[in-house]
């Protein structure tokens, strides 16, 4: 019998559990360790923050889902991983051993790296549903006394799409309320140019997003390094392309949402041979850690080198479809290892993304997500908004049902020539670098 443990019960962890389960032998056991018992659909958090969704619309009780699938579920969370001992210390003081481990913890939000940043400071976040709910409460107060808004992403951030989404969703909501004329808006980002997205752009995202911001009267500052935030004021250095200070801005605001940099969670940080200096898990082409080959990693916790040097540090996003490809490769490799065969499946790391603006949106396909690419396409239109609504409903039903990829999803992706697994398993990539 083999003990397989999935550490993390967010998007990557739940999907990993559902995909790994049918690959196991009868005698194997699967355990999922989560930080709490509730799954929430992170891509819908911008809608929560403006009241377009309620919390219960995007949450699922994983106790019930895992029980129906006969997956052991531990909701106490992890205190410390000991990869050399094949053991996890849990937050309740107990310990859990494993033969194979799949790390899907997601990140820790590094608000503390910028003074005054975050829900405990003076800005808001949509990275977690608790933060989104708090952002909605603050937005309601803001509506009674409108003023300047700042939205963006701090230095070291690696998730830029939701910042653009939220800025443009706010614009849509304020126009619907007929108070947009009372709200100057500024987009502040560490990206070297609008639409970089941590990916050096995808298709024409630079022109598409610049056009959206310009048409909606949203000013922007790129190559931005946030020095600190106080009540109602943000200090920002704007750098030149060669890293010199172009100017310093003192930006007033009545409401602000800034995405922070990510780092690895405390349970992993400092684990020699497992993680990089930021605490992200180093993996090879098969999603395995080179030092501890019985440890896999999927999702935001994976170390990926930046696409290139930038004046202000910019990380690489781990998008939903990219994570799904990591999950599928991991499940297939575990299937092989449990039966005495070598791992051979490599994730494509393709990206299919939908950024909703409330009355339209931008979609892009990057194959693979990291350039150079075989497919590099982006487009915008009202259709993106409706497709994202449909995807939210589909994905929530997928989690509630505890299902892996249904046949019709695979059929659609095949028709679009979008793959989760590389068709040439003989191609071996170098281990991923640092975020």
Catalytic amino acids? 159, 353
**What is the C-alpha to C-alpha distance for residues 51 and 143, in angstroms, rounded to an integer?**
12
Interior CA angle at 176 toward 171 and 179, to 5°? 70
Token pair 């003076």 is at which residue? Answer: 122
Signed CA dihedral, 113, 119, 122, 123: sign only = positive
Distance linking the first and last C-alpha atoms of the chain: 36
DSSP secondary structure letters along 121-180: TT-B--SSHHHHHHHHHHHHHHHHS---EEEEE-TT----HHHHHHHHHHHHHHHHTT-G
Interior CA angle at 354 toward 414 and 219, to 5°? 150
Q: Which helix (H) or strand (E) holds 106?
A: none
Contact 118, 40 (CB under 8 A): no
368 prior amide bond cis, ω within 30: yes
Residue 432 is classified by DSSP as P
Contact 4, 281 (CB under 8 A): no
Contact 307, 192 (CB under 8 A): no
Contact 357, 174 (CB under 8 A): no
372 prior amide bond cis, ω within 30: yes
**What is the C-alpha to C-alpha distance for residues 118 and 160, in angstroms, rounded to an integer?**
16
Contact 125, 119 (CB under 8 A): yes
Nearest to 225 by CA among 306, 153, 315: 153
Residue 71: CA count within 13 A, CB half-sphere: 31
Neighbour-count burial for 151-164, b at 16+ CB within 10 Å, e otherwise: bbbbbbbbbbbbbb
Assigned token pair, 332: 């297939």
Assigned token pair, 371: 């350039």
């Amino acid at each position: 019998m083999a003990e397989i443990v999935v550490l993390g019960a967010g998007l990557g962890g739940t999907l990993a559990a559902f995909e790994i389960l049918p690959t196991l032998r009868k005698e194997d056991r699967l355990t999922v360790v989560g930080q709490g018992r509730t799954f929430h659909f992170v891509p819908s958090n911008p809608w929560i923050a403006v009241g377009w969704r309620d919390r219960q619309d995007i949450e699922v009780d994983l106790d019930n889902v895992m029980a129906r699938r006969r997956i052991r579920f531990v909701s106490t969370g992890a205190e410390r991983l000991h990869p050399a001992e094949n053991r996890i210390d849990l937050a309740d003081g107990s310990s859990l051993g494993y033969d194979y481990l799949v790390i899907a913890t997601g990140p820790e939000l590094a608000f503390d790296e910028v003074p005054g940043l975050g829900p405990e400071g003076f800005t808001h976040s949509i990275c977690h549903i608790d933060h989104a709910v708090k952002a909605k409460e603050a937005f309601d107060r803001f509506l009674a006394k409108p003023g300047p808004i700042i939205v963006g992403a701090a230095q070291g951030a690696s998730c830029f799409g939701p910042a653009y989404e939220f800025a443009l969703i706010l614009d849509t909501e304020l126009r619907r309320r007929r108070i947009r004329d009372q709200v100057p808006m500024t987009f502040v980002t560490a990206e070297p140019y609008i639409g970089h997205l941590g990916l050096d752009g995808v298709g024409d995202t630079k022109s598409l997003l610049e056009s959206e911001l310009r048409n909606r009267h949203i000013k922007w500052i790129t190559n931005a390094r946030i020095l600190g935030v106080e009540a109602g004021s943000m200090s920002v250095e704007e750098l030149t392309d060669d890293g010199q200070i172009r100017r310093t801005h003192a930006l007033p605001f009545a409401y602000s949402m800034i995405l922070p940099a990510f780092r690895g969670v405390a349970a992993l940080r400092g684990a020699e041979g497992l993680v990089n200096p930021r605490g992200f898990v180093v993996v090879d082409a098969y999603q395995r850690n080179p030092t501890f080959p019985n440890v896999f990693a999927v999702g935001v916790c994976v170390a990926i080198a930046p696409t290139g040097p930038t004046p202000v540090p910019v990380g690489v996003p781990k998008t939903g479809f990219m994570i799904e490809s990591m999950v599928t490769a991991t499940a297939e490799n575990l299937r092989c290892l449990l039966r005495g065969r070598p791992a051979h499946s490599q994730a494509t790391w393709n990206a299919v993304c939908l950024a909703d603006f409330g009355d339209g949106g931008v979609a892009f396909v990057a194959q693979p997500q990291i350039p150079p690419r075989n497919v590099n396409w982006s487009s915008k239109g009202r259709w993106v908004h409706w497709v994202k609504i449909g995807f939210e409903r589909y994905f929530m039903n997928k989690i509630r049902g505890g299902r892996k990829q249904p046949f019709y999803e695979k059929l659609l992706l095949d028709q679009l020539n979008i793959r989760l697994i590389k068709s040439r398993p003989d191609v071996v990539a170098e281990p991923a670098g640092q975020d």
